[in-house]
Structure 1
Amino acid sequence: MSPTGVRPTVSVVICCYTQERLPLLTSVVESVRVQSAPPQQIIIVVDHNKSLYKHLIANFSAVTIVESTGQPGLAGARNTGIAHATSDLVAFLDDDAEATPDWLERLISFYDDPDVLAVGGRVNPVWEAGRPGYFGEELDWIVGCSHRGLPRMATEVRNLIGANMSFRRETLELVGGFNQDLGRQTAKPLGCEETEICIRASLASPGARIVYDPVAVVNHHVPAARGTFRYMAARAWSEGLSKAQVSHLVGHKRALRSERHYVRRVLPRAVLSGIRDWGSGKDSAGLGRAGAVVAVLGITTGGYLRGRQLAHFARSRSAEAVPAAVEWRTVQ
């Protein structure tokens, strides 16, 4: 309920880009339709795929279907969804992440506090081919899911997970939506647009809170191809590059605050646990699990350092190309 005692309305935005996920998208939309707290709107945004758009128009009813008017990529599609939303709150759900029946009800419950500007929940992986033995839960962020080390009860956090998040619409309008230079764009597997917008929203509203409630759950489909070490490595490198971009935009300390705790506390425990399980004979995959954690940390760090280097080169070229007086006026 809102402070006035009236339950806020919700627009649910689901972005899609490929016909290969149509069966999953159908299940996701149905999971939203049967919510215990029904949304006012279900908005499907098609990311620059005309044939998919035509198919959805012909086969889906009682939903708003629009084509993305932003840059190709998830951020542009989400911004299109925001532009079409008319509710108090805007919730985002991936086209392969099915919501549990009380998902929206759980998210909405926190908005009776006017200081809460965004709420998200837990994302559980549903492995198409079963979880690989070397893929520890500490690394589930690689497949867009909640990882071991996140809060086990409702807690204020820095940022939410993209597959399960909601914002006050006025907050999204205040900060200008998602940064379209971040996020996944076809063959450019970057991310962290959720981290960046949450940080910007917090800076724009001092004293406000972003809440993560692990009881608000969605179940995220994970195809077999995303359980391979090759995918783990590629995603880890992209995460490093993305974090470097975010740190350039919002500052090193803000961009890496949560990651410091994760690296210092969660990952060492994961490595020790894996080695211990392997050494005791409890789990023969334990050593591989520990090795994967070490490898992912190293690759992510390498991607971050490379991203910082690229940002430095970009700033240097910009400084050389723009006269100092003009540059000063621009940043002012």
Structure 2
Amino acid sequence: MSQAPGTPTISVVICTYAEERWDLLMGALDSVRVQSLPPQQTIVVVDYNMNLYKRLIFTVPDVVIVENNGPKGLSGARNSGAAVANAKVVAFLDDDAAAAPDWLERIVALYDDPDVLAVGGRVEPHWAAGRPAYFARELDWIVGCSYRGLPKVAAEVRNVIGANMSFRAEVLDRVGGFNPSLGRQDTVPLGCEETELCIRAVMGAPGCRVVYEPAALVNHHVPAERGTLRYMLTRSWAEGISKAQVSRVVGHKRALGPERRYVRQVLPRAVFAGIRDWTRGNDPAGLSRAGIIIVVLASTAAGYLRGRRLPARPAAPETNPDPKDELWREVQ
């Protein structure tokens, strides 16, 4: 597809850190290569893994390969990718996600409105071993995907989802990029760096907005171990801690506005639906789904309360996590 005059150019950034994810990364790159609206450039950022960096340099000639030159972790890697992007819009795709062919076309269309600062899309889980019957769709945020309760049509939201998001390059420059004291480091499941960035972006540009476009789709690989109750509790605990860290930066009300509606409206409906399905004999797993929703909510709330009591993380953490870092140890 040829790009229409006036359509903003777009760079795609994919961050990666482990050779074990090679096949998934190649799938992500293949999905970008067949976009109906080709990106101006595709950038792969390697997060402190020299062997992976060298392998990419020698085997993937059509992509810009760079190393993370900031603090170790996803936030530092994303900032390193954005720094070399030369398009008007910077899109981020996870290394274990595959974009639909019209992904970029759908995203760019929303930037016709100058008040749109960021656009995110729908993230559908692709379960390696099938969705566990007890894993409610309302909890898909645990595996980095869109969950039941999000808008079904394009709408203003507080924040985008990290696996499928984009920002105007000028916005990333203005707010200073992702906060390196937040976000995942290797397999440590902290997060919310995109939430905090979106809030800062809107605070600095009153009247502007962040948009969720469910038609802009990516499929996100979910390994079997992420469907276990152990992972669900670990991830929800870490989410609570992450939300507490965000609230330190942007304030309690800004950090938790959508979560209040989610807890008051979306989750009770899901619990009652699970119990109803079980009592009617329609779904034997309904009761376990309802129970796990309650347990996950309790774990998230406990993580948040614990996070409020932890010391704030430094603005620029060391390259490697410090085992004495109390926050880092909380999610091990």
TM-score, L = length of structure 1: 0.92
AA in 1 matched with 2:229: F
Cα deviation for residue 186 of structure 1 reads: 2.8
Aligned partner of 2:318 in structure 1 is none
Aligned partner of 1:19 in structure 2 is 19
Aligned partner of 1:169 in structure 2 is 169
Contact between 1:11 and 1:87, CA under 8 Å: does it hold in 2? yes
Aligned partner of 1:235 in structure 2 is 235
Contact between 1:248 and 1:311, CA under 8 Å: does it hold in 2? no
C-alpha distance in structure 2 between counterparts of 1:187 and 1:148, whole Å: 25
Contact between 2:160 and 2:194, CA under 8 Å: does it hold in 1? yes
* Secondary structure of 1:12 counterpart: strand
Aligned partner of 1:82 in structure 2 is 82
Aligned partner of 1:324 in structure 2 is none
* Pairing 1:125-140 to 2, within 5 Å after superposition: 125-140=125-140
* Pairing 1:148-187 to 2, within 5 Å after superposition: 148-186=148-186
C-alpha distance in structure 2 between counterparts of 1:43 and 1:312, whole Å: 32
C-alpha distance in structure 2 between counterparts of 1:52 and 1:274, whole Å: 44
* Secondary structure of 1:205 counterpart: coil
Cα deviation for residue 5 of structure 1 reads: 4.7
* Pairing 1:251-266 to 2, within 5 Å after superposition: 251-266=251-266
Aligned partner of 1:7 in structure 2 is 7
Aligned partner of 2:284 in structure 1 is 284
Cα deviation for residue 311 of structure 1 reads: 4.1
C-alpha distance in structure 2 between counterparts of 1:77 and 1:259, whole Å: 27
Q: Report Cα offsets for 1:34-66 as digits up to 9, x if no partner.
A: 100000000000000000000001110211000
C-alpha distance in structure 2 between counterparts of 1:312 and 1:219, whole Å: 34
Aligned partner of 2:221 in structure 1 is 221
Aligned partner of 1:206 in structure 2 is 206
| 1:307 equivalent in alignment to 2:307 | yes
C-alpha distance in structure 1 between counterparts of 2:89 and 2:187, whole Å: 31
Larger radius of gyration: 1
Contact between 1:245 and 1:311, CA under 8 Å: does it hold in 2? no
Contact between 1:160 and 1:194, CA under 8 Å: does it hold in 2? yes
C-alpha distance in structure 2 between counterparts of 1:277 and 1:267, whole Å: 15
Aligned partner of 2:28 in structure 1 is 28
| 1:143 equivalent in alignment to 2:130 | no
Contact between 2:141 and 2:147, CA under 8 Å: does it hold in 1? yes
- CA-atom RMSD, angstroms? 1.3
Contact between 1:120 and 1:161, CA under 8 Å: does it hold in 2? yes
| 1:270 equivalent in alignment to 2:265 | no
Q: 1:143 to 1:66 in 2, by over 3 A?
A: same
C-alpha distance in structure 1 between counterparts of 2:37 and 2:183, whole Å: 30
Contact between 2:118 and 2:167, CA under 8 Å: does it hold in 1? yes
Cα deviation for residue 309 of structure 1 reads: 1.3
Aligned partner of 1:45 in structure 2 is 45
* Secondary structure of 1:185 counterpart: coil
Q: Report Cα offsets for 1:81-119 as digits up to 9, x if no partner.
A: 011100000000000010000000000001111100100
AA in 2 matched with 1:232: M
Cα deviation for residue 254 of structure 1 reads: 0.2
C-alpha distance in structure 2 between counterparts of 1:187 and 1:83, whole Å: 24
AA in 1 matched with 2:228: T
Q: Which has the higher helix share?
A: 1
Cα deviation for residue 189 of structure 1 reads: 2.0
Q: Report Cα offsets for 1:121-180 as digits up to 9, x if no partner.
A: 000000000000110000000000000000000000000000000000000000000000
Cα deviation for residue 188 of structure 1 reads: 3.2
C-alpha distance in structure 2 between counterparts of 1:130 and 1:7, whole Å: 39
* Secondary structure of 1:239 counterpart: helix
C-alpha distance in structure 1 between counterparts of 2:198 and 2:163, whole Å: 14
C-alpha distance in structure 2 between counterparts of 1:118 and 1:310, whole Å: 31
AA in 2 matched with 1:188: V
Cα deviation for residue 7 of structure 1 reads: 1.1
Aligned partner of 1:250 in structure 2 is 250
TM-score, L = length of structure 2: 0.92
AA in 1 matched with 2:84: H
AA in 2 matched with 1:310: L
* Secondary structure of 2:310 counterpart: helix
Unaligned stretches of 5+ in structure 2?
Answer: 315-332
AA in 1 matched with 2:119: V
AA in 2 matched with 1:227: G
Cα deviation for residue 6 of structure 1 reads: 1.1
Q: 1:313 to 1:96 in 2, by over 3 A?
A: closer
AA in 1 matched with 2:66: V
Aligned partner of 1:320 in structure 2 is none
